[in-house]
Amino acid sequence: MASSLKKLISSFLLVLYYTTIIVASSESRCRRFKSIISFGDSIADTGNYLHLSDVNHLPQTAFLPYGESFFHPPSGRASDGRLIIDFIAEFLGLPYVPPYFGSQNVSFEQGINFAVYGATALDRAFLVGKGIESDFTNVSLSVQLDIFKQILPNLCASSTRDCKEVLGDSLILMGEIGGNDYNYPLFEGKIINEIKELVPLIIKAISSAIVDLIDLGGKTFLVPGGFPAGCSAAYLTLFQTVAEKDHEPFTGCIPWLNEFGEHHNEQLKSELERLQKLYPHVNIIYADYHNPLYRFYQEPAKYGFKNRPLAACCGVGGQYNFTIGKECGYEGVSYCQNPSEYVNWDGYHLTEAAYQKMAEGILNGPYAIPAFDWSCLGSGSVDKEYSFSS
């Protein structure tokens, strides 16, 4: 009898233990985010590159038609309107995240964005040493992270809460980053096998940044993969000598470029899974940018786009309305009057409409792995059926 009672108590305690673990795990996955901290490149840049530029040599994103669908005048975003980071902020009921560079009052409440147009995951000196010498920004991922670490003591000093607690309540957007590390050598004519050697180095740079931020108190990371580059007007124009038979029959995209992008994404997912096992108390979410975007090219009408989804809305010339050196924002370059029907904005970047649908698929759909858990949030907070304004 005593033995049976002892076993029963042991079983009860074991169930209680695992229940506690599961509940604790569940609670740690659902958070009321109080700010967004962002690192990356032009896919998330809300104005940093514009503020870093010489006033006499402003980037194209400083001029119309950039921003014409929403911000008026241009904000420095590489689109006709809002980016994925903006739709995430709307969804969470947070302010649009201002660029760090050029901001007067940096605070966690406003959110902080270090993403810079043209930024790379790997440092400039390393890429130059590899013979990649494009005129790119020097604000790589490690530089962005170093700046954040430098300003963190002052940011925390101005808060009434513990620094780790503030970081724990922030959604940390880690990218998209790494795409430019491939773009520059591809546009310089480097062979794909040579470029493939960069993949593990880029993944390591992203992983190291995440670990640094975990050590500082970060709890939730949204880490995007790359786009299907073989469907971009820029690459389709660059490789326009590729025979029609070597394009995908249903989309018209270049398959070997998309396969390379998927290789990067698979390596990134594997590394994120490894990190998640090492740090079970944090939530590391992979944002699939490849598959929703690829579906727009496969079935444009289903998602509200026109049946010529590969062409840029803003551009001039050729099959894809894109000419290298005569791009969107330059004098004499026109743009479509209905950007919401286009996927591709300027040959490199997407329209607000495409970003909006991608954001919806990440926040409420199948393109966040694992999916976001909004179960702990009341009706007065995040609305799971949130419909983005157009």
> Among all residues, which ones are annotated catalytic?
42, 346, 349
Is 388 in contact with 359 (CB distance < 8 Å)?
Answer: yes
Is 176 in contact with 44 (CB distance < 8 Å)?
Answer: yes
Question: How many other β-carbons are positioned within 10 Å of the β-carbon of residue 337?
Answer: 7
Residue 361: both structure tokens together: 């698929």
- Report strand pairing: 112-113 vs 220-224: unpaired
Reported for 181-190, long-range contacts at CB under 8 A and 24+ positions apart, including other chains, are 181/120, 181/121, 181/122, 181/127, 182/229, 182/260, 182/264, 183/229, 184/120, 184/127, 184/132, 184/134, 184/136, 185/130, 185/132, 186/235, 186/238, 187/134, 187/238, 188/132, 188/133, 188/134, 190/131, 190/132
Q: Could you tell me where the beta strands, DSSP code E, fall in the chain? A: 35-39, 112-113, 170-174, 220-224, 283-287, 368-369
Phi, psi of 56 (to 5 degrees): -90, -10
Query: d(Cα 59, Cα 56) in Å, to the nearest integer?
Result: 10
Residue 162: both structure tokens together: 């513990």
- Report strand pairing: 368-369 vs 283-287: antiparallel
Residue 237: both structure tokens together: 């124009």
Q: Which one, of 237, 185, 243, 188, lies nearest residue 347 by Cα?
A: 237
Q: Which one, of 293, 295, 390, lies nearest residue 344 by Cα?
A: 293
